[in-house]
A and B are shown apart, each in its own frame.
Chain A
Amino acid sequence: MDVLQNLLDGLQLALGAENLLFVLLGVSVGMMVGVLPGLGPAPTVALLLPITFGLEPSTAVILLAGVYYGAMYGGTITSVLLRIPGEAASVVSTIDGHEMAKQGQAGRALGLAAIGSFVGGLIATCCLVLFAPALADFALNFGSPEYAVLAFLGLILVAYTSAGTMAKSLVAVGIGLLLASIGQDPMTGSSRWAFGVPELMSGIDVVAVIMGLFGLSEILVNIVDNRRGESTIRQVGRVLPTGRDLRDNAGAIGRGSIIGTGLGLVPGGGGVLASLVSYGTERKVSRRPERFGHGAPEAVSGPETANNAASISTFIPLLTLGFPPNGVLAVIFGALLIQGVTPGPALISDHPDIFWGVVGSMVVGNLILLIMNIPLLPVFVRIARIPPAVMATLTVAILIVGAYSINGNTFDVGVMVAAGLAGYLLRRIGVPPAPIVLAFILGPIFETNFRRSLVLSDGGFDIFVSSPTAIVLLVAAIAVLVSTALPMVRQRRQALEAED
Chain B
Amino acid sequence: MKLSIPAAAAAGMLLVTGCSLTEEAASDSYPSRSISVIVPVPAGSSTDLSTRILTPCLEKELDTTVVVENREGGSGAVGNGVFANAEPDGYTLVSTTAANAVLPPILEGDVGFDADSFRPLGMIGTAPIVLVVPAESPFQTAEDFFAAAESGTVMLGVPGTTSVPGISANALIASTQLGIEPVPFDGNGGTMNAVLSGEVQAGYMSADSGVVLPRVESGEVRVLATAITEPIETMPDVPTLESLGYSDLPYADSFWFLATQPDTPDEVVEVLEEAMETCMTSEEVVDGLGESVAPSSFIDGDEVADLLQQAAADYAEGQS
Interface flag for A202 (CB, 8 Å)? yes
Q: Please give, as numbers and ranges, the residues of chain A lying within 8 Å of B233 by CB-CB distance.
A: none
Is B184 part of the contact surface with A, judged by Cβ < 8 Å? Answer: yes
Verify A201–B73 contact, CB threshold 8 A: yes
**Does the CB pair A199–B78 fall under 8 Å?**
yes
A189 touches B104 (CB 8 A): no
* Residues in A whose Cβ lies below 8 Å from that of B288: none
Extra contacts besides A198-B78, A198-B112, A346-B193 (13): CB < 8 Å:
A141-B197, A186-B160, A189-B161, A198-B104, A199-B73, A200-B74, A201-B75, A407-B70, A407-B72, A409-B71, A409-B78, A452-B183, A456-B183
Question: What residues on A are CB-neighbors of B197 within 8 Å?
Answer: 140-141, 143
Question: Could you tell me if A455 and B73 are in contact, using CB atoms closer than 8 angstroms?
Answer: no
**A224 to B320 CA separation, bound complex (whole angstroms):** 54
B188-213 interface code vs A (CB 8 A; 1 in, 0 out): 01000110010110000000000000
Min Cβ gap B193→A in Å is 8
Contact of B18 with A by CB under 8 A: no
Kindly list chain A residues whose C-beta atoms are within 8 Å of the C-beta of B107. 189-191
Inter-subunit contact B183/A202 (CB<8 Å)? no
Please give me the residue from chain B that is nearest to A141 by CB atom.
B197
CB of B185 closer than 8 Å to a CB of A: yes
Query: Interface digits, A194-216 against B, CB 8 Å rule (1 contact, 0 not)?
Result: 10101111100000000000000
A/B interface sample: 12 pairs, CB < 8 A: A140-B197, A189-B160, A189-B166, A198-B104, A198-B108, A201-B75, A202-B78, A346-B193, A408-B69, A455-B181, A456-B183, A458-B153
Residues of B within 8 A of A194 (CB): 108
A187 in the interface (beta carbon within 8 A): yes
Residues of B within 8 A of A141 (CB): 197
Q: How far is the CA of A186 from the CA of B108 in the complex (A)?
A: 15
A340 in contact (CB, < 8 A): yes
Q: How far is the CA of A493 from the CA of B110 in the complex (A)?
A: 50
Cβ B75 vs Cβ A202 within 8 A: yes
* A interface residues, Cβ below 8 angstroms from B: 140-141, 143-144, 184, 186-191, 194, 196, 198-202, 340, 342, 346, 407-409, 411, 448, 452, 455-456, 458
CA separation between A27 and B166, bound complex, in Å?
46
Across the interface, name the chain A residue whose C-beta is closest to B183: A455
Task: Give the residue name and chain of the A residue nearest to B110 (CB).
Answer: A196
**Interface presence of B186 (CB below 8 A):** yes
**Contact: B73 with A202, CB < 8 Å?**
yes
B304 to chain A, nearest CB (A): 23
Q: Which residues of B contact A346 (CB under 8 A)?
A: 193
Which of A201, A342, A409, A455 has the largest count of B CB atoms less than 10 A from its CB? A201
The residue in chain B whose Cβ has the minimal distance to the Cβ of A205 is: B73
Q: Say yes or no: is B81 at the interface (Cβ < 8 Å to chain A).
A: yes
B184 touches A187 (CB 8 A): yes
Q: Rank and list the top 8 A-B pairs by shortest CB-CB distance, nearest first.
A: A189-B162, A201-B74, A198-B77, A189-B161, A198-B74, A143-B199, A202-B74, A340-B44
Do B69 and A188 touch (CB < 8 A)? Answer: no
**B198 CB, min distance to chain A CBs, angstroms:** 9
B13 → A minimal CB distance (Å): 42
List residues of B (237-259) whose CB comes within 8 Å of A's CBs. none
Contact A184 to B162, CB < 8 A, known contacts A189-B107, A191-B108, A198-B73: yes
Residues of chain A within 8 A (CB-CB) of B232 are: none
Q: Which residue of A lies closest to B182 (CB)?
A: A455
Contacting residues, chain A, for B77 (C-beta < 8 A): 198, 201-202
B111 at the A interface (CB under 8 A): yes
Return chain B residues, CB-CB under 8 Å to A411: 73
Q: In the complex, A411→B77 CA distance in Å?
A: 14
**CB-based contact A456/B69 at 8 Å:** no
Q: Taking CB as reference atom, which chain B residue is nearest A337?
A: B42
Report yes or no: A186 in contact with B184, Cβ–Cβ below 8 A. yes
Chain B, Cβ-Cβ closest to A197 = B74
Interface residue B299 (Cβ < 8 Å from any Cβ of A) = no
Indicate whether B275 reaches chain A with its CB closer than 8 angstroms.
no
> Is the pair B161, A188 in contact by a Cβ cutoff of 8 Å?
yes
Contacts of B184 in A (CB 8 A): 186-187, 452
User: Considering only CB atoms, which chain A residue lies closest to B160 in the complex?
Assistant: A189
Complex Cα distance, B79 from A202, in Å, reads 12
Q: Is the CB of A452 within 8 A of B44?
A: no
Report the bound CA distance from A340 to B187 in whole Å. Answer: 13
Q: Mark B18-32, 1 if CB is under 8 A from A, else 0.
A: 000000000000000
The interface bits of chain B over 98-137 (1 if a CB of A lies within 8 angstroms of the residue's CB, else 0) are 0000001001111110000000000000000000000000
B148 within 8 A of A: no
Q: Which of B70, B108, B162, B181 contacts A196 (CB 8 A)?
A: B108
Q: Do A452 and B161 contact each other (CB < 8 Å), given the known contacts A141-B197, A199-B78? A: no
Among A144, A184, A342, A408, contact of B71 (Cβ-Cβ < 8 Å): A408
Cross-chain contact A196 with B73 (CB below 8 angstroms): no
Q: Tell me whether B155 is interfacial, beta carbon within 8 Å.
A: yes
Find out whether the CB atom of A408 lies under 8 angstroms from the CB atom of B70.
yes
- A452 and B73 in contact (CB under 8 A), knowing A201-B108, A340-B44? no
> Looking across the interface, which residue of chain B has its beta carbon closest to that of A185?
B161
Q: A143-B197, A202-B75 are in contact. Are A196 and B161 (CB under 8 A)?
A: no
Closest Cβ of chain A to B186, distance in Å, is: 7
**Given contacts A196-B109, A455-B181, A456-B199, are A201 and B72 in contact (CB under 8 A)?**
no
Q: A340: nearest residue on chain B (CB-CB)?
A: B44
- How far, in Å, is B160 (CB) from chain A's closest CB? 7
Bound Cα distance from A226 to B107, whole angstroms: 49
Report the bound CA distance from A200 to B72 in whole Å.
12
How many angstroms from the CA of A186 to the CA of B75 in the assembled complex?
13
Bound complex: CA of A48 vs CA of B181, how far in Å?
Answer: 44
Q: Which residues of B contact A452 (CB under 8 A)?
A: 183-185
Taken together as a complex, chains A and B put the C-alpha atoms of A201 and B189 apart, in Å, by 22
Which residues of chain A have C-beta atoms less than 8 A from B69's C-beta?
408
> Are B110 and A407 in contact, with the CB atoms below 8 A?
no
**B104–A201 CB distance below 8 A:** yes
In the bound complex, what is the Cα–Cα distance between A189 and B74 (angstroms)?
A: 11
Give complex CA distance A140, B108 in Å.
Answer: 36
Q: Which of B266-312 contact A (CB under 8 A)?
A: none
The answer for the CA separation of A194 and B194 in the assembled complex, in Å, is 30
Q: Which residues of B contact A200 (CB under 8 A)?
A: 74
